[in-house]
């Protein structure tokens, strides 16, 4: 194979693995997400063209995070996956045509949700009592952050469902709180957090729970892995999570057609800067759970859901809104 290709591939792999460590482990990214995404796309392109290049340490083969020292490990019973990315409606049409091959339907029902820019959390309940809170980590093994999640006001310590119940969602920092904390850090001569996502991740992985209690993190829960057999669609899961007392994002919507999805994307591309928390896209989830096994997944991402990412420049405008100038 052309040495130039091998060199380019190795450089991309090294960069992405380093940036991944900075982002997931140290909570201190040195490049912005669009640069990471651009390099990742190029790496995936090369891997598609030259599959012989793919090695175990490629960032395409595993979900990013590693475990911070100081926390106990938690083995996820079911892997916590990432999501595939798309950047245009045309790419969504391609994604949908793969789903159509399995379902036989063009106008598939998807549940559309905002893609909250925080970090994944799993909450585990035994007989109605919160017993564990864990980060995603590498998808198989996460950090046990139970004492810290107990400090988040929107996390119920008890729920009215017996047996083993796991729910998953996002821990995030509201923009107002982010601004308050960064103002204080600047006053104290400390380095400000790069963005609300890093502030949330850095806070949830504090060894001192008191600091977590002081900084007002919040949650949006969107996955239900419980015992209620009536919950057989994402729309019903969201309703059930609401009934159990979880904080659920109010802007999710069941889309019955491709046109509905187009409208949802247009609406929230517009609404994005008015939400009070950061989102970096929209997640489209096939609504009917019965098809999940048939549609399947890769090692890293499900094929029944996709993340439609917003362009990066909108995000810069948002930072300008907060600080006046950057
Ligand atoms: P991701 O953040 O692109 O998407 C998957 C995650 O979305 C899930 O794990 C979940 O936590 C979250 N999510 C938010 N709302 C959701 C909802 N409603 N339903 C389901 N999931 C929802 O994937 P990732 O693997 O966590 O991270 C990859 C992305 O992180 C990259 O595309 C890049 O933008 C960024 N990144 C940046 C750097 C950097 O150096 N700047 C480094 C690594 C990763």
Which of 40, 61, 82 represents a domain boundary (last residue)? Answer: 61
Please report, for residues 105, 147, 206, 211, the alpha-carbon distance to residue 214 in angstroms, rounded to integers and kept in the order given. Answer: 49, 14, 12, 5
Q: Is residue 150 annotated as part of the catalytic site, yes or no?
A: no
168 is known to lie in a ligand binding site:
no
| 160 and 226 together in one domain | yes
The pLDDT score that the predictor gives to residue 322 is: 47
Per-residue model confidence as pLDDT tens digits over 289-312: 999 999 999 888 999 999 999 987
| Bridge partners for 302 per DSSP | 297
The pLDDT score that the predictor gives to residue 326 is: 34
| 1 and 135 together in one domain | no
Q: Report which of 73, 69, 43 is spatially closest to residue 58, judged by C-alpha positions.
A: 43
Least confident of 114-123, 225-234, 304-313: 304-313
Q: How many other C-beta atoms can be found within 10 angstroms of the C-beta atom of residue 69?
A: 6
From the list 3, 4, 38, 115, the catalytic residue is 115
| 66 and 48 together in one domain | no
Nearest residue (CA) to ligand 1, atom 23: 82
> How big is the chain by its Cα radius of gyration, in Å?
20
Q: Report which of 135, 109, 118, 113 is spatially closest to residue 248, judged by C-alpha positions.
A: 113
| 260 and 134 together in one domain | yes
| 12 and 31 together in one domain | yes
Nearest residue (CA) to ligand 1, atom 37: 33
The pLDDT score that the predictor gives to residue 158 is: 97
Q: How many other C-beta atoms can be found within 10 angstroms of the C-beta atom of residue 267?
A: 14
Band the pLDDT of 314: cuts 50, 70, 90: very low
The pLDDT score that the predictor gives to residue 56 is: 86
| 182 and 307 together in one domain | yes
Residue 196 structural domain: 62-323
214 is known to lie in a ligand binding site:
no
In sequence order, the 6+-apart residues with CB closer than 8 A to the CB of 292 are 286, 302, 304
Checking if the pLDDT of 320 tops 50, the result is: no
Per-residue model confidence as pLDDT tens digits over 34-62: 899 999 999 999 999 999 999 888 998 87
The pLDDT score that the predictor gives to residue 143 is: 94
Per-residue model confidence as pLDDT tens digits over 234-270: 999 999 999 999 999 999 999 999 999 999 999 999 9
| 7 and 134 together in one domain | no
| 109 and 241 together in one domain | yes
83 is known to lie in a ligand binding site:
yes
Full-model pTM: 0.91
The pLDDT score that the predictor gives to residue 317 is: 43
Angstrom distance (rounded) from CA 175 to CA 177 = 5
Question: 66 in helix, strand or coil?
Answer: coil
Helices (H), 172-257: 175-187, 196-204, 209-214, 234-244
| 1 and 81 together in one domain | no
Angstrom distance (rounded) from CA 211 to CA 129 = 24
The pLDDT score that the predictor gives to residue 68 is: 72
Q: Which residue has the higher pLDDT, 186 or 65?
A: 186
Checking if the pLDDT of 101 tops 80, the result is: yes
What is the ipTM score, two decimals? 0.96
The mean pLDDT of the chain is 92
By most ligand atoms within 8 Å of CB, the mutation choice from 25, 58, 82 for ligand 1 is 82
| 90 and 230 together in one domain | yes
| 41 and 148 together in one domain | no
| 292 and 278 together in one domain | yes
Per-residue model confidence as pLDDT tens digits over 141-170: 999 999 999 999 999 999 999 999 999 999
Domain count, the chain: 2
Answer for the pair 25, 202: CB distance below 8 angstroms, yes or no. Answer: no
The pLDDT score that the predictor gives to residue 90 is: 96
Distance of CA 280 from the midpoint of ligand 1 (Å): 8
> Which CATH number characterizes residue 52's domain?
1.10.287.610
The pLDDT score that the predictor gives to residue 311 is: 82
The pLDDT score that the predictor gives to residue 61 is: 84
How does DSSP classify residue 153? T
* Percent of the chain surpassing pLDDT 90: 84
The pLDDT score that the predictor gives to residue 299 is: 81
Please report, for residues 85, 139, 275, the alpha-carbon distance to residue 311 in angstroms, rounded to integers and kept in the order given. Answer: 12, 26, 17
Checking if the pLDDT of 208 tops 80, the result is: yes
Checking if the pLDDT of 321 tops 60, the result is: no
Q: Which residue has the higher pLDDT, 279 or 70?
A: 279
> Which CATH number characterizes residue 67's domain?
3.30.470.30
The pLDDT score that the predictor gives to residue 140 is: 93
The pLDDT score that the predictor gives to residue 237 is: 98
- Ligand 1 interacting residues, C-beta cut-off 6 A: 19-20, 22-23, 29, 31-33, 36-37, 63-64, 82-83, 85, 113, 115-116, 120, 136, 170, 222, 283, 307
Band the pLDDT of 27: cuts 50, 70, 90: confident
Instruction: Indicate which atom in ligand 1 lies nearest the CA of residue 24.
Output: 43
The pLDDT score that the predictor gives to residue 230 is: 97
Which of 61, 77, 112 represents a domain boundary (last residue)? Answer: 61
Distance of CA 210 from the midpoint of ligand 1 (Å): 27
The pLDDT score that the predictor gives to residue 121 is: 98
Which of 17, 44, 61 represents a domain boundary (last residue)? Answer: 61
């Amino acid at each position: 194979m052309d040495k130039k290709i091998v060199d380019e591939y190795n450089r991309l792999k090294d960069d992405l693995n380093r940036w991944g460590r900075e982002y997931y482990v140290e909570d201190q990214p040195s490049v912005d997400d669009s640069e990471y995404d651009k390099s990742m796309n190029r790496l995936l392109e090369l891997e598609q063209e030259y599959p012989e290049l793919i090695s175990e340490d490629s960032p395409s083969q595993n979900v990013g995070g590693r475990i911070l020292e100081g926390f106990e490990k938690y083995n996820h019973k079911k892997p916590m996956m990432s999501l595939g990315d798309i950047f245009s409606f045309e790419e969504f049409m391609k994604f949908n045509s793969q789903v159509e091959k399995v379902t036989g339907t063009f106008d598939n029902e998807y549940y559309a949700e905002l893609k909250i820019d925080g970090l994944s959390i799993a909450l585990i309940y035994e007989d109605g009592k919160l017993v564990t809170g864990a980060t995603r980590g590498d998808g198989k093994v996460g950090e046990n952050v139970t004492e810290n999640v107990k400090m988040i006001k929107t996390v119920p310590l008890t729920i009215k469902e017996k047996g083993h119940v796991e729910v998953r969602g996002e821990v995030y920092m509201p923009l107002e709180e982010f601004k308050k904390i960064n103002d204080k850090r600047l006053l104290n001569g400390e380095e400000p957090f790069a963005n609300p996502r890093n502030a949330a991740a850095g806070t949830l992985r504090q060894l001192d729970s008191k600091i977590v209690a002081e900084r007002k993190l919040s949650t949006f829960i969107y996955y239900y892995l419980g015992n209620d057999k009536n919950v057989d669609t994402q729309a019903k899961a969201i309703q059930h999570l609401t009934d159990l007392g979880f904080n659920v994002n109010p802007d999710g919507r069941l889309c019955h057609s491709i046109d509905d999805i187009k409208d949802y994307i247009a609406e929230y591309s517009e609404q994005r800067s008015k939400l009070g928390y950061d989102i970096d896209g929209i997640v489209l989830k096939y609504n009917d759970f019965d098809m999940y096994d048939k549609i399947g997944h890769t090692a890293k991402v499900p094929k029944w859901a996709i993340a439609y990412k917003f362009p990066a420049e909108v995000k810069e405008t948002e930072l300008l809104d907060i600080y006046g100038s950057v």
